[in-house]
Amino acid sequence: MRLSFVCIISLCYLHSFGQVSDNSLLSVMFYNVENLFDCEDDSLKYDEEFTPESNKRWNHYRLRQKLNSISKVILSANQWQPPDIIGLCEVENSNVLKQLIYETGLRSLRYKYIHFESPDKRGIDVALLYRQDKVKVIKSSPVNISRPDNNFYTRDALYTHLCFNNRDSIHVIVNHWPSKRGGTLASEPKRVHASNCVSSLLDSIKSIDRNCHCILMGDFNADTEAQSLKQLIAGHQLIVPKLLETNHKGVTGTYKYKGQWSQIDHILISNTLNDKYSSNLKIIDLPFLVEEDRSYYGVKPYRTYIGPRYNGGTSDHLPTLLIISENRTDSLVLD
């Protein structure tokens, strides 16, 4: 009975958002999937907490549940048209990506993945999924953010040059900037460094084609007023799409900490892309992605773990979805 009720609510939600994507040319999703680890102990990574022998008791059954749930999110996010491009972060390796696209409900959709191992000590990386019948990959490469000279190792960004709509090329950068561990102000210089690295890449891209289309997405661990993100947006005339209303009252971001929502997961677009196409951004807060927030109010992301305790949800973040359409309308102009 509970499953049927959730399905009915989800269908109503999908119908309401599907109206903005009828004429879509490209759909782009970003999702921090909260520690998508396999169950094996990699001697080169600090991944011991995600093994069957750890306090978290991470095992193949729980991994399978998480993979199926992520595939359900992807299948449900954009009505009956799964996203053409999906940026992911907190992915351990290509093994879990293969399981996601070949051993779940995604297996018939012809998704391929792009992934590079990064220097992050825990072994979490970013990745890109793409529908090979919708977009074509021109090239891709990792973008180093680490500074070995300062003993600072973090996940790389991921750069991919794609062709969509059989005519337009687009440069996509998937990010997972350093966390706020140690405090927001104390850790901000690390994110400023990440911002500078991405800015240098954009400079290189624009030196070849100043009218190029770009999409930057990721968990930036910063809102748009933080120095790290603000300087990147201003320096490259990036557009922050206006968010459509969410399904659940009170959901105003992608991450909730001590009762406060924050928007730290972003999809940003170049002004050239904004000038040519209509774009709409939505936080995906499907019913199975949230649970009651008993400590504060409203709902919160239905996460996989709360500390060492298995909670059974999908992620501690909500995904975002960008729809790029052919025709612009006054009501959908971005800020």
Q: Tell me the per-residue pLDDT of 308-326, one tens digit each, with 9 for 90 and over.
A: 999 999 999 999 999 999 8
Q: In what order do the strands lie in the sheet with 125-131?
A: 111-115, 125-131, 85-91, 24-36, 320-325, 278-283
Which pLDDT score, from 0 to 100, does residue 79 have?
Answer: 83
The number of CA neighbours under 13 Å toward the Cβ of 291 is 14
Q: Which fold has domain 13-324?
A: Deoxyribonuclease I; Chain A (3.60.10)
Query: Model confidence over 189-205: pLDDT tens digits?
Result: 999 999 999 999 999 99
> Per residue in 120-134, pLDDT tens?
999 999 999 999 999
Average pLDDT of span 67-73: 98
Residue 111 pLDDT > 70: yes
Cα 325–328–332 angle (5° rounding)?
Answer: 95
Task: Kindly state the tokens that stand for 326.
Answer: 């052919």
Whole-prediction pTM value? 0.91
Mean pLDDT of all residues in the chain?
91
Distances (CA, A) of 188 to 16, 167, 179, 267: 38, 39, 9, 20
Rounded to an integer, what distance in angstroms lies between the CA atom of residue 256 and that of residue 245?
17
Q: Identify the pLDDT of residue 7.
A: 46
Tokens, residue 16 = 């309401």
So what's the pLDDT on residue 104?
98
Which residue, 320, 306, 318, 314, is CA-closest to 255?
318
* pLDDT at residue 73, rounded to an integer: 98
Residue with the bigger pLDDT between 333 and 101: it is 101
- For position 236, what pLDDT does the model report? 97
Domain ranges of the chain: 13-324
pLDDT in tens, 286-295: 999 999 999 9
For residue 241, the 8-state DSSP code is P
Distance CA 130, CA 84 (A): 6
pLDDT category of residue 22 using cuts at 50, 70 and 90: low
Q: Please tell me the distance from the alpha carbon of residue 140 to that of residue 126, in angstroms, as a whole number.
A: 13
| Count of all residues that appear for the chain in the document | 335
